[in-house]
Chains A and B, each alone.
Chain A
Amino acid sequence: MSNKTDVVVIGAGPGGYVAAIRLAQLGQRVTVVEKEVLGGVCLNWGCIPSKALIHAGSLYEKIQHASELGIMVDGLRLDMTKLQSWKDGVVKKLTGGIGQLFKAHGIETVYGTAAFTGPKTLAVKDSSGQTQTLEAKHFIIATGSSPIEIPGFAFNGENIIESREGLSWTSVPESMAIIGGGVIGLEMGTLYAKLGSQVSIIELAPDILAGSGIDAEIVQTLRRSLKKRDIQVHVNTKAKKAEVKNGKVHVEAEAEKGPIIMQVDKLLVCVGRKPNSQGLGLERAGVQTDKRGFITVDQQLCTSVPHIFAIGDVTAPPLLAHKASKEGLVAAAVIAGQNEILDYQAMPAAIFSDPEIATVGLSEEQAKAQGYNVKVGKFPFAASGRALSMNASDGMVKMISDAKTDLLLGVHMIGPDVSELVAEAALAIEMGATTEDIALTVHTHPTLPETLMEAAEAVHGMAIHIFQKEKPLAAAK
């Protein structure tokens, strides 16, 4: 059987499903091929379930410390099974929503594994082994990424696992080790520490969040908070091997000081993700990838084949759901004949550690490296009425500007709800705002975004709620 349509989207994650809906809005006939469930890693085994659990974990921790606020709680108990079913409900609601939107837009969904058989034909094999061929004028490859497995630490689905399984446990492990002090490792480690696990993180690099470009001061603040939660961080440490004995995982690692041996209930391996570009028959379609397997695309998300597009994790880092969605929108517009390109000025990112970290634009180091004469304004959450009233005063906002023009170059933050605050900063950068623009904008009191206004004032030495000795000219030119 052969089906011809305008566009076939391979993968229904946050890149693919957004692209499909936008294509339908622009009058294209769309078929989406999905090998598992609508929503991809993001909705099913990533962003959404992890945030649901992290929210619950934070609440659980807050209740434990609620006595400081005069709230006395006795008999606090965690029912992991119930928590999981609540989380599953959240996921189902969202993925079901995509199904309904697809239906309303007349988007067809084909379940199965896709592989190109030529530049314009795609074979889709379903779970029963049946194959059908789809033909289309355009294709969007949105197949995402998978966790990298390292030799000696093969996933067994039970106690040597990746983040996906780590989000569906119905009991809290007493102890766990995490290989990889990156974003996922830190989020998972913090979550389970809050739920009561004894957590150790093994990181090969000299520091956590290595290579992420996140400001050193911010990483330092996070390190302190990990320590407060008794999360052991072993940096400069290489995980050597893992063995399962009597239901426990024996982990051997080599630190600078010498070997470390751990016995844990669970070993989580979060050392990075690789693009899902294998097995897609890309060579038969003529689609080129780089050495690491990422599909090469131009600013219109067009691959080396003019009618085949690729978006999201399968194209290039950073691996972010909202980046995939943005690329999906641009690819859809280009396919529909619009003169659209990817031209965002800055890509925001958030880490749901505790406190949260959020960044957009250049860090101080990056700005200096690019030759800017940098001016930085810092404002601590300890000076924010709102943060104090939330009992969450750790962290700060760091605003990076070009000394010559006052142009806002970046905002890097650690603190309560900064994943929300970063939206204002991203808008400011997209609009080409100066820090003075932010300082002159009235912010609601008492709220956390006031800290952005204050950090902007701090760039000019004019913050109200902290004392700054240096007062460069009252306002930037």
Chain B
Amino acid sequence: MAFEFKLPDIGEGIHEGEIVQWLVKPGDYVREDQAIVEIMTDKVTAEIPSPVSGVIQELRGKEGEVVKVGAVITVIDEKAAEGAVSAQPMAAATAASAAEVAAPAKTSVPKEAAVSAPSLPPTNGKAKSATAVMAPEHPAGKALAAPATRKMARQLGIELSMVQGSGPLGRITPEDLRRFQQAGPATTSRPTAVAQPTMARPAYQSGGEKRVPFTGLRRKIAEHLVKAKQTAPHFSYVEEVDMSRLMAVRDELLPIAEDQGVRLSYLPFIMKAVIEGLKKYPVLNSTLDENTQELVYKYDYHLGIAVATDQGLIVPVIKHADQKNLFTLAREISDIAGRARTGKLGLDDIKGGTFTVTSIGSIGGMFGIPIINYPEVAILGVNKIEKRPVVRNVGGQDQIVIRDMMYLSISCDHRIVDGAEAAHFVKDVISYLEAPSRLLMEEI
């Protein structure tokens, strides 16, 4: 009997997902609980297991296509026996695109050999959680790799369990790691950047062009940004901050933080100042409910922090930032940013933000103009700190002095926030940053 497999509800509030990759092809025999497709929803990727055993008759939907929850994505013939297993390499389309991605190196080996052979999940395997990034099946019950290969994975910042091995029993070879690193999010697996966020540099090639499917997280980011830009008329405002005193305060706290194992950046201070500003100018912590035509003021202060990862920008959220002290914020930033870079965020980690802070200055630049993380109504850009000559009144006389200066750049949804409010808000944030002892007053 043909079983129509509908895309199941894979997480709260998720009603559609993009097919990142088919893990099976028509003619394949699949067993119950075997992963058959990788679906990406709102920045989280999940492998969807088959609810039945049988032979795949038909796949509905191409890789890169967005499907709705409840739509039939594949038809499985439950009667068909295991004998119908096909030992062919991947479907032509996928094989071709894989080869393109891997150019100019030799055409990639049909790495899914292990997938097309039916394999049971390990008896002691982990429970499947639809909201987590799923690892490929490991026929041996764990990711097998020689010690030197495991070391190489650590050096490349790759989580071994995310790599599909090409060797017997799914053994992972150094070649698999290299392929994994190049392929990025288009494969079942995702690279991680524990050590440093390395961008795989494409090999130099003179002339011609290369086409890479625009799928996955990159496309999700693109859609999100287009919506933000098209829906919210942006305006931006930039002001400078004298960070000298805050730097002194941070230097004083550094050894204490270090002793407690806390990596203390400027961000937690800025978040504290932002929260004080939001308390005074609540419209910046609001959102527009377009269905009911109501402005929704949020009394939760969930601050998003933009984190650059190998696959693109992700904005994990620090919940209830107003209720947390400096070191707690610092700890949570390290934790959540780390998990963002290693692809270990859950759906909950990226939902519910009410205002976003984005650090722009790590590479350089005077300042950047950020795009709002829609449906939030404002985003604050934190730029680089540098020594600049400024005029200060010293002993009754104007003098040029050297101070540690930084630009703050804010973008707002002009439908909701006016320039004056934004300017007042920024001025308030600056007042805390320039006189950090004022933050003590507000410390809970």
Contact = CB atoms under 8 A, between A and B. Distances in A.
Given A305-B261, A371-B124, A402 B146 contact: no
A407 B141 CA distance: 10
Contact of B141 (A405, A406, A430, A431): A405
- Report which residue of A344, A406, A432 has the largest number of chain B beta carbons within 10 angstroms of its beta carbon: A432
A90 interface: no
Given A306-B258, A339-B155, A339-B195, A432 B141 contact: no
Nearest to B139: A405
B146 A341 contact: no
A406 B195 CA distance: 35
A373 B122 CA distance: 11
Given A405-B169, A407-B169, A339 B157 contact: yes
A432 B144 contact: yes
Contacts of B250: none
A306 B331 CA distance: 13
A341 B147 CA distance: 11
A175 B124 CA distance: 51
Interface string A305-317: 1110000000000
Interface string A390-404: 000000000000101
Interface in A415-447: 430-432, 434
Contact of B146 (A305, A373, A431): A431
Contacts of B225: none
Contact of B154 (A306, A341, A373, A404): A341
Interface string A241-257: 00000000000000000
A318 interface: no
Contacts of B171: 432
A343 interface: yes
Contacts of A430: 146-147
B151 interface: yes
B213 interface: no
Nearest to B169: A405
Contacts of B150: 343
B156 to A, nearest CB: 9
Interface of A, helix, strand, loop or mixed by DSSP: loop
Contacts of B124: 370-371
A341 B169 CA distance: 24
B168 interface: yes
B259 interface: yes
B439 interface: no
Contacts of B362: none
- Chain A interface category by residue count: 20 to 34
B267 interface: no
Max count, chain B CB within 10 A of own CB: residue among A340, A370, A407, A434: A407
Most buried by A among B168, B194, B258: B168
Contacts of A372: 123
A380 B146 CA distance: 30
- By size class, the interface of chain B is 20 to 34
Given A339-B154, A339-B157, A432 B261 contact: no
B140 interface: yes
A119 B259 CA distance: 7
B47 to A, nearest CB: 21
A286 interface: yes
Contacts of B157: 339
A286 B169 contact: no
B194 A339 contact: yes
A321 B240 CA distance: 59
Given A339-B194, A402-B141, A405-B140, A306 B169 contact: no
B140 A402 contact: yes
A119 B194 CA distance: 27
B123 A432 contact: no
Interface string B158-179: 0000000000110100000000
A373 B123 CA distance: 9
Contacts of B259: 119, 286, 305
Nearest to A306: B261
Interface in A320-368: 339-341, 343-344
Nearest to B123: A371
Contacts of A406: 169
Contacts of B147: 343-344, 430-431
A304 B144 CA distance: 31
Nearest to B157: A339
Contacts of A286: 259
A158 B392 CA distance: 81
A432 B151 contact: no
A404 B124 CA distance: 13
B145 interface: yes
Contacts of A373: 123
Contacts of B155: 339
A434 B168 contact: yes
Interface in A247-297: 286
19 contacts: A119-B259, A305-B259, A305-B261, A306-B258, A307-B258, A339-B155, A339-B194, A339-B195, A340-B154, A341-B154, A371-B124, A372-B123, A373-B123, A405-B169, A406-B169, A430-B147, A432-B146, A432-B169, A432-B171
For the complex of A and B, list the 5 residue pairs with the smallest distance between their C-beta atoms, beginning with the closest: A432-B144, A306-B261, A371-B124, A339-B154, A431-B146
Interface of A: 119, 286, 304-307, 339-341, 343-344, 370-373, 402, 404-407, 430-432, 434
Given A305-B259, A305-B261, A432-B140, 10 more contacts: A306-B258, A339-B154, A339-B155, A339-B157, A339-B195, A404-B120, A405-B140, A407-B169, A431-B147, A432-B171
Interface of B: 120, 123-124, 139-141, 144-147, 150-151, 154-155, 157, 168-169, 171, 194-195, 258-259, 261
